[in-house]
Amino acid sequence: MSDSHLYSEIELHVKDSRVSKRLYTVQEAATKLSLHPSWLYERTRKNEIPCRRFGKYIRFTNDDIEAIIASGATNQKTEIEKGA
For residue range 38-80, list pLDDT tens digits in order.
999 999 999 999 999 999 999 999 999 999 999 986 665 555 5
| Residue-number span of the structural domain to which 79 is assigned | 3-83
CB 37 within 8 A of CB 27: yes
What is the phi/psi pair of residue 53, to 5°?
-110, 130
| Arithmetic mean of pLDDT, 19-35 | 90
CATH number at residue 47: 1.10.1660
CB 59 within 8 A of CB 24: yes
Q: How many folded domains does the chain comprise? A: 1
**pLDDT the model gives residue 21:** 79
Instruction: Report the DSSP pairing between strands 57-59 and 52-54.
Output: antiparallel
Identity (one letter) of the amino acid at 4? Answer: S
**pLDDT the model gives residue 72:** 85
